[in-house]
Amino acid sequence: MMGYSEPLSEGIDPKSRPLKSSPNIGLDQWVQTHLQNSTYQPGYPYVIRSVTTRVQGSEREHLEIPNTPENLANSQPHHIIRRQTSRETTTRSLFQPAPSNALYTSTNSQYTRTPVPQKYKSSDYRQHQQHLRTVSQHRSVVYGRDAVSPYACLSCLRATFIKRIRFYRKTRQLNCDDIIENAFTGDEAVSALVKVFADRVSKQDCTALVNLLWHSPAPVFLPTRLSPRSVKANSVIESKDEIFTLIDSDDISSDPKKASKIKGVITALTACYVPTCTPKQPGICYAPTCPNREGDKRALVSAFKPLMQVVSILQPLVLNVDPTKEDPDDYKNHKSWVKLAPEELVKSLPAEEITRQELMFELIYTERNHLNLLKAIDQIIIPELDGTTLLSAEEKKDFMRIMFPNYKWFLDRTSAMYDEMHRRQEEYEGECLPRIDDILLKYYLEFEEPVRAYSKSIPFMTHAIKQYSQRNEEFGLLIEDLGSRHALNRLGFRNILLQPVRRSVNIILILESLVKKTAKYNSTYEDLLQCVAVVKNLARINDEEVAASEDIINLQALEIGLGSKTKTHFLTPLRLLDPERKLLRHGNVKIKNSSDSVDTKMFVLDNFLLLVKVKHYALEEEYRLLRRPIPILLANCRELPPVSLSSSLRGSAGNGTSSGVSSQAADYVLAIGSSGQREADTCLAFKTSEEVCSWMAVIDKAKEEVRKRWEDVKFCDLVCIDDKSFQVGDILPKRGEGTIRCTAPFENIRRQKCIAIGTESSIYLMNCVDGTLRRTLFIKNVTQIAVMHKHGVLLVLADKVLLGYPLAAFGDTGSPKPLERLVKEIDKHVNFMKVGQYNGQDYLIYKKRKGNNSMFFPLRPKPNIKEIMLAPSERRLINSSNSWFDSDKVFCVGAECFNVQFFNTRLFIACEQGFEMINLTNLTVTENLINDISSPALSTFNKHLLDSKPLAIFLASEDRALVCYNKVVFYITKSRNVVFQDDTSPVLFDWETPVDHVVYRYPFIAGFSENMIEIHHADTGELLDVLFGDSIRVTHDYELNEVHGCKLDFKANVQLIFSFILRPS
């Protein structure tokens, strides 16, 4: 064994420390006492030799210390220390003096701190450093290796590291020096210790030591926002792109509390305390853990942990039952039943019964341990947390409200159950224990609701501890200390939280083994089976409630991480905090062929599929949407063929060769896309095909759950009216511009339901009773057909000319006059028309364009219009004034308009700026439908409205209306204020693709786009169903509560006419 000595401090009398011969004194104390009482020259290395001889039946150990380094190998002993010992007490102290200016050691009284001599602090500092180098050289001679023991002291390693980093900062400059104080890179951090240890410590171990300096109670440096990969890995990444900041060591050393935390010994860097043990001959070492032995060799990556001064570890644990004292009856619990039962009884029993008795004893013993843990929670954990001053009063109140909610109930019932089991054990002492399953069943039947309540709170307790520990480092140390208490079996705080409900999970295997060892004819067999079923049910409840609460926490973290930035491009509320929201799966994924180092996560909810990028900060994570959220019903996922890196390189090479390209494992690709969105699919790379299949199964499960939730509700009726009459020819129509343009249902004079169908070249009449179809009028470019049933007028808009026909003649095949002779030209240059009721009267309103303005002409049918239409003189008035209608005042809107809607006393005009409200009586105009639309709170919302096209407004209730644009839907109140769905957005939902037409029948709202029909819930905005098609368009929707539409059938090359009716529930 080797060490070094230091001169005694001034004022200490060597004779005041006499040599003691107690065999209990450690070897280091013997050496120090010897050096203090000798004239040994300070600053020289010394070697202690151990020679054991037998004198008069007892063994004596001689410790020899040479005087000078020149006589290290063969020198006469300067002094001989003798003490009596035995073979069983030859273990030496682990302490080895190291050549450092100060040695910090453990607080459990085995070691002390050797102070720095006063004279080394002044002019003799250089001589002292030379002395240290001399000692290191002599150690190299003795051991045949370079010594690293000086850096086993955490303070010494810390000072050396800081010195190296400061040297780097003087010799180079980083781009971030102006914004980050004391910045250095991860590459510099590792290389600093690599240069200190040279080749004596591996690079991997140097990285581990750097992590030790980071994660110590008083860290040397901290990560910054420019070191996201290191924060994620919780380990320093050796890279020039990872930036850290050095903490000012002067501030730490001046603070006594912080200075006490930098004291410790890295035992993996110390030398072996056995004198004869060297790296070349580790086989003769008798130390339990030797750094020279292959199995124990400096496992820095996982084994190092500095010895820290934590005062609370030394404090006694106060319990009603002292855990250091044995219960007088404890031998009955932890000893096997065989050792307690009479030998004759044991020999007379079969092996099955003996095992059965052992299992019941095991149940009783483990129940007692479980009860002790609950008592420790009540008498140690709760008082410590309740009495801590590390949290403010408000923080402590919130924290204690979360922690261990109903543990006292478990403590009371477990205590009563154990007492009853223990009494039965004593009752049958020395005999066979008949049963204890009845006791277990009696109590565990009461556990269901308490287990449910406690299990629900476990993730919230874990999350609260994590949050408070991150914000308060000292509180985190307290939690770590409590989890390492002996009375709590050093379980760690996470496992301590589980203890009140963990018992029911742990005894399942014991109970199942007990069932196997119990005969079926035994009277206890059925009760045992029931007991197993009850305990398994408790375990299932525990797993379900923990999983549900973890989902809530993950959803809360997702909601916080997304923040308000999500609303920049996506306004639909995700409703992540809804009580019934489910998180089916989430995890890290990798974007194929992406060089981005930012993490990507995928969340599969019961309403959306989210792909987000994750940015890690010190205490939080920030999420940003990688793409627009995909409604789960529209999520498309498919597995692509795996492509290896080498094959992709060969395919991209111009000459077709792959020289120097090594074959790598293929990535299994999952393509994620949306049936409604026009974004390209996102390709995710996985290592195995099983991962791809598991994600696809989760997405399919989410779709199935949505359909199952609404399987009893029929949202709509979709009935085919005609699927063979209108062929489209070889050239397929584009974007819905098919042959059929519009339809209008009506009843003919025989009270038969008919449909007028307008096409590009004609108007057809279909009789829905007998299914006949005939061409009625040859007229081009029919865009609208409307019917005023009460007045018998059929209106046609073709080539921007508004025409009127008598409805009776139009539907009567035997009419004496042709329709061409009965037509009435109402006006020209008409863009669109609309019929409806205003203030109890029927109106026809049509729009004409004049410059940038829209001119609206309201017309009222004359009371005797039916007679006028069929009068002979009417034929001569075909180009005369509107004798069929009475005109009201013409009004103008200064913008391009798209639609007109009739309400009782108002007209709503959909125009470029939004909706305008018109009063036909006095022609007052309300331009801004929404109050305070320009307010900062609605700025993002207003931008989306300006980029959208207004379609329709529906009266949802007496005090609010549903406003529909082609991209968004929202509510407004009677006072024209928007209704916010959450804290940031008033949008009820976004359409997946811009829609052309909207149909509303409470509680459902349907949007028609080119390729699909979306059906949403009008209260929640949830997507309920999707109907797919090609070139879908609405041909009629403002009469008889019936919607007509058409779509293409590519296989039959025909245009279908269908009827769509929303079913209000």
- Strand order across the beta sheet in which 740-747 lies: 740-747, 753-759, 762-767, 773-778
Contact 971, 986 (CB under 8 A): yes
Contact 884, 804 (CB under 8 A): yes
Q: What domains appear along the chain, each with residue ranges and CATH number?
A: 2-110 (no CATH), 149-311 (no CATH), 324-554 (1.20.900.10), 569-646+666-709 (2.30.29.30)
Q: Do β-strands 583-591 and 243-246 pair in parallel, antiparallel, or remain unpaired?
A: unpaired
Q: How far apart are CA 309 and CA 319, in angstroms?
A: 24
Segment holding 193, helix H or strand E: helix 186-197
Greatest distance between any 2 Cα atoms in the chain:
153
Q: How far apart are CA 32 and CA 19, in angstroms?
A: 10
If we measure between CA atoms, which residue out of 278, 269, 290 comes closest to residue 205?
Answer: 269
Segment holding 375, helix H or strand E: helix 351-376
C-alpha pair distances (Å), 421 with each of 428, 441, 531: 11, 12, 15
Report residue 822 as tokens: 């009965």
Contact 765, 779 (CB under 8 A): no
Q: Spell out the SS3 assignment of 209-264.
A: HHHHHHHCCCCCEEECCCCHHHHHHCCCCCCCCCEEEECCHHHHHHCHHHHHCCCC
In sequence order, what are the residues at sequence separation of 6 or more whose Cβ sits closer than 8 angstroms to the Cβ of residue 816?
none
Q: How far apart are CA 869 and CA 1028, in angstroms?
A: 44
Q: Count how many Cα atoms sit within 13 Å of the Cα of residue 496 in the half-sphere of its side chain.
A: 29
Mean pLDDT by 10 residues, the chain (1065 residues): 34 34 42 48 43 50 45 37 34 32 32 39 47 42 43 82 87 80 89 83 86 84 86 86 79 50 69 65 60 52 36 28 41 65 88 89 89 90 88 89 90 93 90 90 92 92 89 87 81 86 82 89 88 92 90 87 61 80 90 75 91 80 86 89 52 38 61 83 89 92 88 84 78 52 86 87 86 85 89 90 84 59 86 89 91 90 79 49 79 88 86 86 80 74 84 87 91 86 79 90 90 90 89 79 84 86 77
Report residue 612 as tokens: 């987000």
* Residue 371 identity: L
Contact 184, 244 (CB under 8 A): yes
Report residue 1039 as tokens: 């009469």
What is the per-residue pLDDT for 877?
Answer: 45
Contact 675, 631 (CB under 8 A): no
Q: How far apart are CA 982 and CA 581, in angstroms?
A: 15
Contact 439, 421 (CB under 8 A): yes
* Residue 674 identity: S
The secondary structure of residue 377, as a DSSP letter, is I
Q: How far apart are CA 35 and CA 79, in angstroms?
A: 10
CA angle at residue 179 from 173 to 181, to 5 degrees?
70
pLDDT tens-digit profile of 911-948?
A: 888 888 888 888 888 777 787 777 776 777 878 788 88
CA angle at residue 961 from 959 to 962, to 5 degrees?
150
Beta bridge partner(s), residue 919: 924
What is the per-residue pLDDT for 532?
Answer: 92
Beta bridge partner(s), residue 244: 184, 223
Q: How far apart are CA 816 and CA 308, in angstroms?
A: 110
In sequence order, what are the residues at sequence separation of 6 or more whose Cβ sits closer than 8 angstroms to the Cβ of residue 578?
none
For the chain, give me the number of helices (H) and strands (E)?
A: 29, 45
Contact 965, 950 (CB under 8 A): yes
Residue written as token pair 């028309």: 833
CA angle at residue 867 from 866 to 868, to 5 degrees?
95
Segment holding 886, helix H or strand E: strand 885-887
Q: How far apart are CA 457 and CA 466, in angstroms?
A: 14
Beta bridge partner(s), residue 952: 964
Q: How far apart are CA 945 and CA 757, in angstroms?
A: 35
Phi first, then psi: give them for residue 46, nearest 5 degrees: -135, 150
Q: Do β-strands 667-674 and 682-686 pair in parallel, antiparallel, or remain unpaired?
A: antiparallel
Q: In 527-662, where do the E strands start and end?
A: 583-591, 599-605, 608-616, 621-625, 630-631, 635-643
C-alpha pair distances (Å), 362 with each of 420, 511, 716, 1034, 1061: 15, 10, 63, 75, 68
Q: How far apart are CA 175 and CA 381, in angstroms?
A: 48
pLDDT tens-digit profile of 650-699?
A: 343 344 433 333 334 557 889 998 887 777 888 898 888 899 999 999 99
What is the per-residue pLDDT for 1065?
Answer: 63
If we measure between CA atoms, which residue out of 279, 312, 315, 313 comes closest to residue 296?
Answer: 279
Contact 349, 341 (CB under 8 A): no
Residue 60: CB atoms within 10 A of its CB come to: 14
Segment holding 543, helix H or strand E: helix 525-562
What is the per-residue pLDDT for 875?
Answer: 47
Phi first, then psi: give them for residue 355, nearest 5 degrees: -60, -40
Q: How far apart are CA 397 and CA 388, in angstroms?
A: 11
Residue 636: CB atoms within 10 A of its CB come to: 15
Q: How far apart are CA 840 and CA 507, in angstroms?
A: 77
Report residue 569 as tokens: 């491009």
Find the length of the chain.
1065
Beta bridge partner(s), residue 589: 600
Q: How far apart are CA 566 and CA 624, in angstroms?
A: 7
If we measure between CA atoms, which residue out of 994, 996, 1006 comes closest to residue 1032?
Answer: 996
Q: How far apart are CA 658 and CA 646, in angstroms?
A: 8
CA angle at residue 640 from 635 to 642, to 5 degrees?
145
Report residue 428 as tokens: 């049958």
Sign of CA dihedral 940, 941, 946, 948: positive
This prediction's pTM: 0.62
Report residue 630 as tokens: 């995909």
Contact 118, 110 (CB under 8 A): no
What is the per-residue pLDDT for 489?
Answer: 77
